[in-house]
Amino acid sequence: MDVILLERVGRLGRMGDTVKVKDGFARNFLLPNHKALRATEANKAKFERDRAVLEVKNNDSRGIAEAEAESLKGKSFVVIRQAGESGQLYGSVSTRDISEAALAAGAHVDKNHVHLRAPIKAIGMHEVELTLHPEVVVKLQVNVARSAAEADAQARGEVMTGNAAERAEVRAAAEALFEEAQADQAAEDAAPVSKTRAKAKAKKPDIE
């Protein structure tokens, strides 16, 4: 089917372009969402009459989307999910989940604007795209973790996937080193005090 685009649509083309698309795509998406018109002579004439109004409307909506994109730039939203030791989720993270996580963090993200290149099925930091306008796309991070503490660790750059026993061993070794350093510091701090007391005792005269 030949259609006239009323706005920029992905790789199809820009506003005013006449393109050929599959009938199902036109009927199920482009036409009901007012993104295109059937390329009839009557519709071509109608588009030319309305072009100026459509361009103003598009510029206005693009400006709003650009401001929204600026407010979301660099944002990271946390999604807590259950997962196995390997980090595989018991399910997946949907566009609705991301929208709700953003809302919980005080930001508004329409689930229809979230674009997932592939389903999110593992914990970790995932980059997703928000298409706020046909000409405005912003990227943000989705931090999928099993707990808030794990999300904080991932935000610091720690990798939480892999063998749980190995991670526990590394963590235990780090804690042991920290405790050993604390003990050494405590001994060092106490040493001058002990020496001073020893000298004072040596100088103290015997009382008969």
pLDDT at residue 165, rounded to an integer? 42
Which percentage of the chain shows pLDDT scores above 90? 65
User: pLDDT higher for 176 or 38?
Assistant: 38
pLDDT at residue 208, rounded to an integer? 44
Whole-angstrom distance between the N-terminal and C-terminal Cα of the chain? 118
Which percentage of the chain shows pLDDT scores above 70? 78
Q: How many residues does the chain have?
A: 208
pLDDT at residue 11, rounded to an integer? 84
Q: Taking the domain 2-68, which CATH number applies?
A: 3.40.5.10
pTM: predicted TM-score of the whole model, two decimal places: 0.66
pLDDT confidence tier of residue 10, bands split at 50, 70 and 90: confident
> What are the pLDDT digits (tens) for 114-140?
999 888 999 999 999 999 998 999 999
> What are the pLDDT digits (tens) for 26-64?
999 999 999 999 999 999 999 999 999 999 999 999 999
pLDDT confidence tier of residue 196, bands split at 50, 70 and 90: very low
For domain 76-164, give the fold.
Ribosomal Protein L9; domain 2 (3.10.430)
109 CB-near residues (< 8 Å, 6+ apart): 72, 77, 98, 99, 102, 103, 130
Of 67, 68, 137, the closest CA to residue 107 belongs to: 68
Q: Where in the chain is the domain with CATH 3.40.5.10?
A: 2-68
> What are the pLDDT digits (tens) for 151-173?
999 999 888 776 544 554 455 56
Torsions phi, psi of 89, nearest 5?
-75, 150
> What are the pLDDT digits (tens) for 91-120?
999 999 999 999 999 998 999 999 998 889
Q: Where in the chain is the domain with CATH 3.10.430.100?
A: 76-164
Of 149, 91, 78, the closest CA to residue 120 belongs to: 91
